[in-house]
Amino acid sequence: MQTRKKVAVLGSTGSIGTQTLDVLSNLKDLFEVTYIAGGKNTELIEKQRKEWNLTTDTARSVFDDEDTLMEIASSSNVDIVVNGVVGFAGFKATLASLKANKTLALANKESLIAGGPLVRKITSNPNFSGEIIPVDSEHSAIWQCLKSGNRNEVDEIVLTASGGPFRNKTTEELENATITDALNHPTWSMGDKITIDSSTLMNKGLEVIEAHELFDIAYDQIKVVIHPQSIIHSMVTYVDGATIAQLSNPDMRLPISLALGAPYRLNKSFGKIDFTEKIQLDFEKPRFDVFPSLKLAYEAGKSGGDAPAILSAANEIAVAAFLDGQIKWVDIYSIVNEVLQFGTGNVDTEDELYAADTKARMRASEMIRERQK
């Protein structure tokens, strides 16, 4: 009998976490959930605990408790860590899982955006035997497309973006964008923070940095194209002009399933595309003038040092303030842009990274308070 792989789901009450548990619920012959860790939604955590026959020690509410996340991520009773924690709070769990040579199904993009150099120190060690498998639909697509050739044969990576709810809006119209409007994503069902990031295209900018860190591809070789149907999740073009694309319905359970089963595909379909039906695939250039956050992320990535960490931290604070009704949608970019001007250092150690993160959050919070006067 095949031994079941033991899975820890971090961020179990969020969008990635709940969808991961949905996938696993149909694969109990292959996987055993040994830990779940959620946030403030203790009622849902308790429901999940009972569904998966866990104890109060292995089903935890860990809001602002990074030490417990680290403990779970490095547990000897875990083979696969699904890191679906939102924001920089998931970073320590990423490091802990990699140091323990786990398979890391990574949805927490901030781990690589803010702490990419520190992650690389671990994964480049000759004794490292773990693996990072991306859960983001775009990076999962790239991961699959890269299997069609050698890394030195790659000409460029193309990240697709839906364009979000404001794809056809003008700068003037966006001056009065509401929270409800920004959360009304046309194709994806995601958590609030990532949905707002999608509306500003900051999410795509963060994914550019993530792709650079994951696949060791130069920024000039990473392109973004607007593809409103969200059928093509990303593409890789090789030096001979061939482009390999990954197509599927917009369903996060597919990349989650792939990350859990890697290097194999699990025999569980999430709906295939019927190519005998009329399918429209549109592509547009991103409007950097209307969505300047995308350009800002490229600049932060190319600058390196503490710039990506500052970008990510300031954006977290600004998005939270927008969702709380404290600032306007257009203020998100201006706050992040101004906070970035204070970046000057490197992030060679965890202490330096956390110092940059703290400084960025404090400065962003100060700017938000100033706008409320």
CATH code at position 194: 1.10.1740.10
Distance set, CA 40 to CA 37, 44, 91, 238 (Å): 10, 9, 19, 45
**In terms of domains, do 164 and 44 share one?**
no
pLDDT computed for residue 75 by the predictor: 96
- Residues of the chain with confidence (pLDDT) below 70: 1-2, 64, 373
* Domain, as residue range, for 17: 5-108
Is 35 in the same domain as 80? yes
pLDDT of residue 363: 95
Q: Give the pLDDT confidence score for residue 87 in this predicted structure.
A: 85
Q: For the chain, how many structural domains are there in total?
A: 2
Do residues 223 and 159 lie in contact, with contact meaning Cβ atoms separated by under 8 Å? yes
Look at residue 267 in the predicted model and tell me its pLDDT. 81
Phi-psi region of 101 (alpha: psi -120 to 50; beta: other; left: phi over 0): left
Task: Answer yes or no: do 184 and 294 share one domain.
Answer: yes
Asked whether residue 213 is domain-assigned, the answer is yes
Looking at the fold, whether 296 and 341 belong to one and the same domain comes out as yes
Between CA 286 and CA 289 the distance in angstroms is: 9
Q: Examine the domain organization and report whether 72 and 172 are in the same domain.
A: no
Sheet holding 232-238, edge to edge: 222-226, 154-161, 232-238, 243-247
- The span from the CA of 194 to the CA of 164, in Å, is 11
| Look-up of token digits 């030096």 | 239
* CATH number of the domain that residue 73 is part of: 3.40.50.720
Neighbours of 21 (CB within 10 A): 20
Q: Distance between CA 338 and CA 25 in Å, rounded?
A: 45
> Looking at the structure, do residues 197 and 62 belong to the same domain, yes or no?
no
The per-residue pLDDT for 1 is: 38
Evaluate whether residue 127 is within a structural domain. Answer: no
Asked if residue 237 and residue 169 are part of one domain, the reply reads yes
Same domain, yes or no: 91 and 157: no
Query: Does 92 reside within a domain?
Result: yes
Q: Could you say which of 66, 85, 108 is where a domain stops? A: 108
The terminus-to-terminus CA distance of the chain in angstroms comes to 66
Residue 229's SS3 state is coil
Determine contact, residues 364/335, Cβ cutoff 8 Å.
Answer: yes
Question: What is the structure's pLDDT at 30?
Answer: 95
The answer to whether residues 46 and 183 belong to one domain is no
Assigned token pair, 293: 């956050």
Please give the pLDDT value at position 54: 95
* Tokens found for residue 100: 């323990």
Bridge partners of 132? 104
| Overall pTM surpassing 0.85 (yes/no) | yes
| Rounded Cα distance, 10 and 24, in Å | 14
Going from the C-alpha of 296 to that of each of 77, 183, 205, 312, the distances in angstroms are 41, 22, 8, 11
Last residue of one domain, picked from the residues 64, 88, 108: 108
167 and 227 Cβ atoms separated by less than 8 Å: no
| 322/201 same-domain check | yes
* DSSP assignment string, 91-142: HHHHHHHHHTT-EEEE--THHHHHHHHHHHHHHTSTT---EEEE-SHHHHHH
Give domain status of residue 115, yes or no.
no
Residue 155 and residue 73 share a domain: no
Q: How many CB atoms lie within 10 A of CB 324?
A: 10
